[in-house]
C-alpha cells in the first residue's frame, strides 16, 4: 500500500455509472486503506455528525463539484467518462434495482423506452455527465441546513443537487465541463480504464500497479431496446456528453 503524500487530497469525482466501483477497488489496492474515505454519497457527509475530513487524503464519491466545500480543502481531481448511450441504460437499470433511490417506485415500472421518453427522467439523462462536472450552484452548507435526518437517509440531498444542475444552459454545461476536465489530474474512459490507472500510478509513483478491476460494468442492451425515434431523442439529449466523451475516448484510444 502506498501513502498518498500530497498537500491536497485526491477526489475521484464519481459520475454515476462510470465504472466507479472499479475505481474504488483500484484505489483500495493502491493506497493505504485508512486514508480512503468510505462515504460515497453527498448525504452521508452530513448525516455523520462526527465526520473528520482531516483523517482522509482520498475521496471517491457522488458529490458533483462540492467536495472542496464539504471538506474545507482544495482537492486535486480525476474522473472517468462513459459512452452516454450506455451510461443512460446503466443508470435506468440502477434506479430500477435500487429501492433506496427516491425515484425507484416510479422508474421500476417503466421499460427502457418509456424511461427515455418520460420528461420526468430528464434529470437522469440530459447531458448528465457534463452537468456533473459543472461548478456548485449553491452553498452546500445552506442546502444541508434545509435537510432533515430523514431527508439525508433518503438521499434527497443528492437528488436536489442533480435537479439544481438542470438550470445550466447547454453552452454553460459545455464550457464548465470542458474547463473542469482540462484542470483534472487524470481523465479516463470506461473502455480504457487501464490507461486511466496507469496515469494515476505514474502521478503518485505507485509501484506494481494493481491490475484493473471490472466491478459492476454493464455492456450491451443500450440501443437494442430503443426505437429509432427514441434513440434519436436520447442522442439529442446527450450531445454535450457525447462531445466530451469522444474527446477523451480518442485520446485514450477508446475509439
For residue 37, the domain's CATH number is 3.40.50.300
Contact 67, 11 (CB under 8 A): yes
Task: Let me know if residue 130 belongs to a domain.
Answer: yes
**Enclosing domain of residue 102:** 10-252
Residue whose C-alpha is closest to residue 70's, from 80, 62, 78: 62
Grid cell at residue 224: 437494442
- Residue 40 inside a domain? The answer is yes
Q: Is residue 2 part of a domain?
A: no
pLDDT given for residue 4 in this prediction: 55
Length of the chain: 255
Task: Please provide residue 12's backbone torsions phi and psi, each rounded to the nearest 5 degrees.
Answer: -80, 105
Residue corresponding to grid cell 483500495:
28
Q: Does residue 215 carry a pLDDT above 80?
A: no
The predicted model gives 20-30 an average pLDDT of 91
Cα-trace Rg, the chain: 18
DSSP 208: S
- E-strand ranges in 66-127 read 76-81
pLDDT band, very low/low/confident/very high, at 205 (cuts 50, 70, 90): confident
- Stretch 127-145: mean pLDDT: 96
Contact criterion met (CB below 8 Å) for 47 and 155: no
In tens, the pLDDT along 183-202 reads: 999 999 999 999 999 999 98
Residue 82 within a domain: yes
State the pLDDT confidence band at 1, using cuts at 50, 70 and 90.
very low
* Overall number of domains in the chain: 1
Where does the pLDDT of residue 255 fall: very low under 50, low under 70, confident under 90, or very high at 90 and above? low
> Whole-number mean pLDDT of the chain?
91
Note whether residue 1 is domain-resident: no
Please check whether residue 4 lies inside any domain of the structure: no
Amino acid at each position: 500500500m502506498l501513502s498518498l503524500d500530497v498537500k491536497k487530497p485526491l477526489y475521484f469525482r464519481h459520475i454515476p455509472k462510470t465504472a466507479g466501483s472499479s475505481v474504488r477497488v483500484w484505489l483500495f489496492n493502491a493506497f493505504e486503506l485508512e486514508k480512503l474515505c468510505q462515504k460515497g454519497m453527498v448525504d452521508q457527509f452530513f448525516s455523520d455528525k462526527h465526520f473528520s475530513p482531516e483523517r482522509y487524503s482520498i475521496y471517491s464519491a457522488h458529490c458533483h463539484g462540492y467536495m472542496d466545500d464539504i471538506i474545507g480543502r482544495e482537492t486535486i481531481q480525476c474522473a472517468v467518462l462513459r459512452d452516454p448511450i450506455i451510461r443512460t441504460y446503466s443508470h435506468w437499470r440502477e434506479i430500477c434495482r435500487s429501492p433506496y433511490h427516491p425515484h425507484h417506485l416510479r422508474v421500476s415500472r417503466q421499460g427502457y423506452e418509456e424511461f427515455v421518453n418520460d420528461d420526468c427522467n430528464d434529470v437522469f439523462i440530459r447531458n448528465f455527465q457534463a452537468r456533473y462536472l459543472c461548478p456548485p450552484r449553491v452553498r452546500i452548507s445552506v442546502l444541508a441546513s434545509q435537510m432533515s435526518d430523514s431527508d439525508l437517509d433518503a438521499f434527497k440531498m443528492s437528488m436536489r443537487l442533480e435537479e439544481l444542475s438542470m438550470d445550466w444552459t447547454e453552452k454553460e454545461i459545455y464550457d464548465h465541463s470542458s474547463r473542469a476536465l482540462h484542470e483534472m489530474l487524470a481523465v479516463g474512459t470506461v473502455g480504457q480504464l487501464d490507461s486511466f490507472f496507469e496515469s494515476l500510478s505514474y502521478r503518485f509513483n505507485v509501484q506494481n500497479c494493481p491490475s484493473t478491476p471490472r466491478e459492476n460494468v454493464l455492456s450491451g442492451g443500450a440501443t437494442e431496446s430503443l426505437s429509432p425515434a427514441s434513440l434519436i431523442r436520447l442522442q439529442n439529449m446527450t450531445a454535450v456528453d457525447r462531445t466530451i466523451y469522444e474527446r477523451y475516448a480518442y485520446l485514450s484510444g477508446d475509439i
